[in-house]
Amino acid sequence: MTFKNNVTIITGASTGIGEALAYRLADQGAQLVLTARRIAELKRVAEGVRAKGAKVIIVSADVAVQADCKKIIEAAIQEFGRIDTIVLNAGMTMWANFADIADVEIINRIMQVNYMGAVYCTHFALPHLKQSQGRIVGIASLTGLVGVPTRTGYAASKHAMRGFFDSLRIELEETGVTVTMVYPGFVATGIRENATGADGKPALIDPVDQAGVMSVADCTTLILSAIQGRKREEIMTLKGRLGQWLKLIAPSMIDGMAKRAVEGNKKFVERK
């Protein structure tokens, strides 16, 4: 019961990985601060958490707004008096070639949510995490390790997360605060169905063949193990781990693999 009475903040907790982590941590007796924009969905998740006997508060917030991130941390301290773990899971994705994007504000929004949201929350939580020698957990993506066509803005935001938290890890080495970066592949979370299209509107499709998708349950099991062990990083797929070596010795091969994966997904969408 590593997380017994562990005060844990989860951003993007209204669905997908965030929701699943909330339930799993509740089973271990964590005290939870759940945040997302959709208050109705947060209330639903909170009910499930309370049914497991865990203490929980919810905070409606947009992590792209600095003041909202401050509000999340203040709510956690007011309710529980400390912060032990923060899981930076909130995110949005895209499904469009950069040349087809009508308004580059799409890229800005993705960067604000995925990258600056993590930075803002970490900034306000860090003094409290130092007191508890706590954990920072960034939920990134394999696109934070390699470039992927149709994901320019998303990949940029996840690359930024990696650079920020790898640097912060070194800065915090003497404080007892650990940084764990998580790199999932495709996971059955629902985020892809809400991907932004070239026109800035939701694409309203899931452009990925489900045969190659990891379940949320398997994903959260790996994440919890990484958090518990205070691992430096968790690259979830064998292809992702091999890709790190191939990128060093045959980078063009990785480019080709990424291109073929997206082309294969396009064919999958056309068949649907």
Q: Kindly list the catalytic residues.
A: 154
Give the Cα separation of 114 and 243 in Å (integer). Answer: 23
Q: Are 18 and 88 in contact (CB under 8 A)?
A: no
What are the residues whose beta carbons fall under 8 Å from the beta carbon of 153, sequence distance 6 or more?
A: 94, 98, 106, 107, 110, 111
Beta-bridge mates of residue 269: none
Q: How far apart are CA 93 and CA 147, in angstroms?
A: 14
At 157, which amino acid appears? S
Residue 73, phi-psi category: left (phi > 0), alpha (psi -120 to 50), beta (remainder) = alpha
CA distance 119 to 131: 19
C-alpha count within 13 angstroms, C-beta hemisphere, residue 257: 16
Under a CB-based contact definition with an 8 Å cutoff, are residues 60 and 35 in contact? yes
